[in-house]
Structures are given as structure tokens and as C-alpha cells.
Structure 1
Amino acid sequence: MPTDVSTDATVLLRLDEADELAAAWVCALAERRGIRAVLIKGPALHLHGLREERVSADVDLLVEPSRFEELCEAIAESGWTKRPGGLISELTTLHSVTFLHDGWPCDLDVHNFFPGFLADPADVFEALWRHRWTLQLAHRDCLALDKVAGALVLGLHSLRGATIQPRHLDELEQLVHTPFTDEERADLGTLARETGCVATLETVLPRLGVVVEPSAIELASPDLRDWRERVTAGSHGSYFWMLALRRARWTQRPRILWRAVWPTRPDLLVARPETVDTLRGRTRARLARWGRGIRSAPAGVQAVWTHRRRLTP
């Protein structure tokens, strides 16, 4: 496996080929650096019978948090570049960094934690690392999550998008109809408590036949409110701006509010790359954005209000 990815490639890769090669490459890179990393989602989910076979647009890798920055630097040194992000991404996407490479149709999505696991990220990684499983990609042994850990990750991933994307809802339905042995269900309950996702998967675990109570620490986590709001509101932009405003200091809020109302040219083109990059085109895109924001705002407000009351003593 080469140490970097050539920019002189003359063969156009299909997405499925790129996924497999990129996964094998980044796993080899981490191994050479002595960095523990494990593939999440991807083909392992199909091989475990958790979802239908599908080709992903990115390769997801969970990295031990203490060495996350080191691996990101190694990926960048090998020719990959960070995906440009707008202000809202900088303020609310804290769990991963996405890398792109010319000539490669897939992304690398490198995680230092996975949303929905409320325990300390280092503890979550150690627990998931014990549930690693080997599969071969591009003629190389790579580490991925086993069936039990993969089920928890898929459940969390599907819940985040199920309210607005039918595919995620379909995958969630397939997950809850997946057969598990008694031993696997017991392991699911143990791992869910250890990683702090009993409350975040409160609508999923019982359907898997897993009866387990969340810990007091998990129920007291401020991230639980954010999770419940996110799932209720869906992935609509209005909610993320509300979240950014709530997290920001008072001195930062006027700037954030203005950028929500009138995004900069780079922010607009990142969020809507189909925008015609002229004064008229950008103005039309901003006005259309107001319409989408107004339509999605009630769901965000309702989610914030509902879960504020739910978590108030």
C-alpha cells in the first residue's frame, strides 16, 4: 500500500472502488503511525446483516481521541485537503473532519467521537475498540466494528436523519428487524450503558429486545438535550443556527445572527454549490434560503421548547 495517494492517476475510480481503496489506505496509514483506528459504518454493516448493501459517498473512521489531530495531520501531508466549511459547520460540527482528494470520488470522514454516545469520548473509543472486527478491503486486513457495536452506531446514525430522509428510516426499520442472539442482546445492553447511548437509543433498544436502564450520569448529560432536540428537529438548518446561538457568548451572537440571515459568498457557495456565482444569482439563493429557513423554523423551535421542558427539574 503506498504511503500517499498519487495525484497523477490516469484511471477514473468508481465510487465503490474508491471507498475500498481509501479505507484500506487510511487504515494502513494509521497502523504505520501506531494510531488505533476502526472503520465505522461502511461494508461491515452489510456483512453483519444490519442493512442492505450500498455504496457510501465517504469512508468513516473513528480514531482514538488523543491521537486524532496526529492522524489528521498525516492525512493532510499525504495530499488530502479539508473540505471547506461554512460558519455553521465550524460552530456545530465538532465530532469529525472531512478530507477530499482530487481524482477520488469519495471523502474521508475522520471522527474523534460519534454523536449519540454520551460517555467520555476516550471511554467510548476503548469500549468500541474491544468490539473491533477484521475484514479484508483491497487485499488488506482492516479493522471495523463488530455486529453489536455496528448496530449501536447504525441506530444513532439513522435516528439523526430519519425525520427527513426516508433512507435512514428504512435502515432503522431493517435494523430493528435484524435477528440477534440472546448473547448479542446482552452485549448490546452492556455496551450501550458503557458508551452512554441507552437514553439516546431509548426508542430503538426496546425494539431490539434490549431492556436496560440509562445511568444517572447519562441522564444528567447536557448533550442528551442537544441529541433529543436534533432528532426531533431533523437536519434542518434553522435548528443548527439556534444551537450555535445558544452555545455562543453574548458578544458573538450578533455576528452569528447576521451570518444566518445574510451568509457570506463563501458560506453560500459551500452550502449551495449549485448557486450561480453572480450578484443576481447569490441574491436569489439568499432569498430562497429565507424561505427554507422560515419553513423549518417551527420544527426547531418546537424541539427546543419540548426538550427544555422535559429536562427542567
Structure 2
Amino acid sequence: MPTDAATDATAATDATVLLRLDEADELAAAWVSALAERRGIRALLIKGPALHLHGLRGERVSADVDLLVEPARFDELCQAIAESGWTKRPSGFLGELTTVHSVTFLRDGWPCDLDVHSFFPGFLADPADVFEALWRHRWVLPLAHHDCLALDKVAGALVLGLHSLRGATIQSRHLAELEQLVRTPFTDQEREDLGALARETGCVATLETVLPRLGVHVEPTAAELASRDLRDWRERVTAGSHGAYFWMLALRKSRWSERPRILWRAVWPTRRDLLVARPETRDTFRGRTRARLARWGRGIRSAPAGLRAVWTHRGRVSS
């Protein structure tokens, strides 16, 4: 018969510690920062609590931890995270075609995700050059008794502006955050630094509606205006970064031989795609059929915005 002490020890070993989301965010940020540091990989926390501490947005708890990694060692850090027990979030067919800048990791018992970026959408300069520029704007952020590296106020403002723009047309939270950002006071030196960093990282044109409201008046470089990604960015912001537009983007970027398969998957997603996109779907014939019909409705409703975005920015590169 086990002793009471042994029983108590077994119970303690088997107990599950439930983390609150705010606790998990801080611990995960500190853990992944320390992992990168041990490997000698440069990495920066983007968004998260630094934005609140800089006065750029209100305090909020995020559902994920965002980390920007030096592009040359992105795969190495992703492998280290996977070897430590985290798993990649399943991606549907469309996500595999259109999401190339980040990998999201999950772990049982953790209510937050790790979203690891090789580059951040909206910065149109070479990703390696963007990282070097942001690295010079690193800022020490203590989390869970570990000194993590995050973005300073100037770099954080650019990231927040780009992030908010992508969702401002469909999510009131992003619009509210954008409005708070443009009301944030900046010194003359900070505004000068904002303009210089925006030009260096190639986000003057992508933030063309935001920088002037911050009191920053600067012209984009010729390289930024010539970027093939600028049209995609403007379309995405106009379309609201959701719905049918992403299928239009996938079709445009694919070879003609691939387009029939993409069209078919848009009309009739596989069982796996349905369950990845909508985990709440009942995995029965009736449940999947209802999910497909509901998806058609969402696609039809979002298609006009996508078509308007494509039509508005057709052939448009420079301002």
C-alpha cells in the first residue's frame, strides 16, 4: 500500500497547472527569447506588451506571441521550437498558398500560440535589410525574469500601423488601435526617426495614409515604389484582408496549369480544409455540407470587395 506521502507526491506530479492567457504570453515570450539567445539567433518580440508600455495602444492580452527572426536563421529557430515540444498549427490549402512569412506553433496546455516571422507584411525592403534596421531599434523588455528584446517606440509604431491597416476595414478593434496610434504624441526627433526608418524598411508607401497623420512627411524610395508587393499590399488593405480576395491572389500568383485545382478547392474545400478553417464544424456529412454552403455565402458576400480592390489597383505601382 502506498503511503500518504507517496500518494500526495503522485497527485502533485499528475496535477495540471492551468495557465491564464496573460501568464502564458509572458512565459512563452521569455522562453522563446531565451531559446533564440542560447542558439545565438537574433530575434525580436513585435507587438505584445511593449506597444502598451510605449503608449502606442491600450493594454490588452494577446492570443499569441509574435517573434521576428533574422531571416537567414528562421528555419533553424523553427526547428528548435519544434524539437522542444511545440507543433505547427495545421494550415489549410489556401494558407499554404498565401502565407509565406510566418509559422504558428501550438503546445498542449498552453492557451497562447507562438507566431514566428521571417518578415513582417508591409515592409517592402529586403527582409534581411529590414531586420537589420529593426535590430538597431531593439529595446530591453523584462518578462518572467528574463530580459527579452523587443521593438522601441519608433519601430513599434511602424509595426502597429502596418498590422492595424490590414484589418481596419473589417475589425473595429484594429481601427480603434490605428486611431489611438495617430493620437500618440511623438517628439520631433521621434518623427524624424520614424521617417528615416520607414524609408529604410520600405513602408512609406504602405503607410501612406498613416505617416502624415503622425506628422511624418517623407517620400518613398524608388525601390519601394517599384516593389511588386506594393500592389498586393494596397489590394489587401482595400479588400479588408479576408474572404474571396485571397483566392483571387492565389489564382493570380499561380501557373495556368494550377488554376483549375485552386478554383475547385475554392468551390469545394476538402474535409481537412473545412476542419482546419472552422474547427467547430460537425464532422458529419450533413455538418460538412452545411459548412460548405455557409462558406459559399461568406465568399459571395466578400467577393465584391475583393474585385473592387483588384480593379482599383490594377496596374498601379507608384503613387
TM-score by length of 1: 0.96
Paired with 1:311 and 1:96, the residues of 2 have a C-alpha distance of 25
Query: Does the CA contact (< 8 Å) of 1:86 and 1:267 recur in 2?
Result: yes
The equivalent of 1:141 in structure 2 is: 147
Match of 2:79 in 1: 73
- Cα distance in 1 for partners of 2:125, 2:294 equals 40
1:209-250 deviation per Cα after TM superposition (whole angstroms, max 9, x unaligned): 000000111001010000000000012220000000000111
SS of structure 2 residue aligned to 1:99 = strand
Describe the SS at the equivalent of 1:310: coil
- Indicate the residue corresponding to 2:165 in structure 1: 159
Letter in 2 for 1:240: F
Q: Does residue 192 of structure 1 match 2:201?
A: no
After superposing on structure 2, the runs of 4+ consecutive aligned residues of structure 1 that deviate more than 4 Å are: none
Q: What's the secondary structure of 1:136's corresponding residue?
A: strand
1:258 maps to which residue? 264
Task: Write out per-residue CA displacement over residues 229-285 of structure 1, whole angstroms, 9 at most, x where no aligned residue.
Answer: 000001222000000000011111111110000000010011111111100010011
Give the Cα separation in 1 of the matches to 2:72 and 2:199: 23
Contact 1:96 1:109 in 2 (8 A): yes
Post-superposition CA distance 1:121-175 (Å, at most 9, x none): 0000000000000010001100000000000000000000000000000000000
Give the aligned partner of residue 7 of structure 2.
none
Distance 2:59 2:79 in 1: 32
Contact 1:80/1:100, CA 8 A, preserved across alignment: yes
1:213 to 208, 219, 227: 219
1:1-313 to 2 correspondences below 5 Å: 10-311=16-317
Could you tell me which amino acid in structure 1 is paired with residue 147 of structure 2? D
Q: Is the 8 A contact 1:164 1:234 kept in 2?
A: yes
Q: Which residue identity does 2:25 align to in structure 1?
A: D
2:125–2:200 contact (8 Å) kept in structure 1: yes
CA shift, 1:97, in A, is 0.2
Preserved CA contact (<8 Å) 1:117 1:196: yes
Contact map agreement 1:60 1:111 (CA 8 A) in 2:
yes
For the pair shown, the structure with the greater C-alpha radius of gyration is: 2
Once residues 9 and 198 of structure 1 are traced to their aligned partners in structure 2, the CA distance between those partners, rounded to angstroms, is 52
Question: Distance in 2 between the 1:174 and 1:145 partners?
Answer: 18
SS in 2 for 1:308: coil
1:265 and 1:237 mapped to 2: Cα distance? 19
Cα RMSD of the aligned pairs, angstroms, is: 1.3
CA deviation vs aligned residue, 1:157-201 (integer Å, no higher than 9, x gap): 000000000000000000000000000000000000000000000
Q: Conserved in 2, the CA contact under 8 Å of 1:148 and 1:187?
A: yes
Unpaired runs of 5+ residues, structure 2, are 1-12
**Structure 1 SS opposite 2:109:** coil
Identical aligned residues as a percent: 87
**2: CA distance, partners of 1:234 / 1:291:** 17
Relative to structure 1, is the Cα distance of residues 301 and 312 closer, same or farther in structure 2, using a 3 angstrom cutoff? farther
Aligned to 1:235, what secondary structure does the other structure show? coil
CA deviation after TM superposition for structure 1 residue 312, in Å: 8.7
Q: Unpaired runs of 5+ in structure 1?
A: 1-6
TM-score, normalised to structure 2, is 0.95
CA deviation after TM superposition for structure 1 residue 10, in Å: 1.7
Displacement of 1:310 after TM fit? Answer: 3.0
Tell me how far 1:309 sits from its aligned partner: 4.2
In structure 1, give the amino acid aligned to 2:303: A
Distance 1:170 1:177 in 2: 11
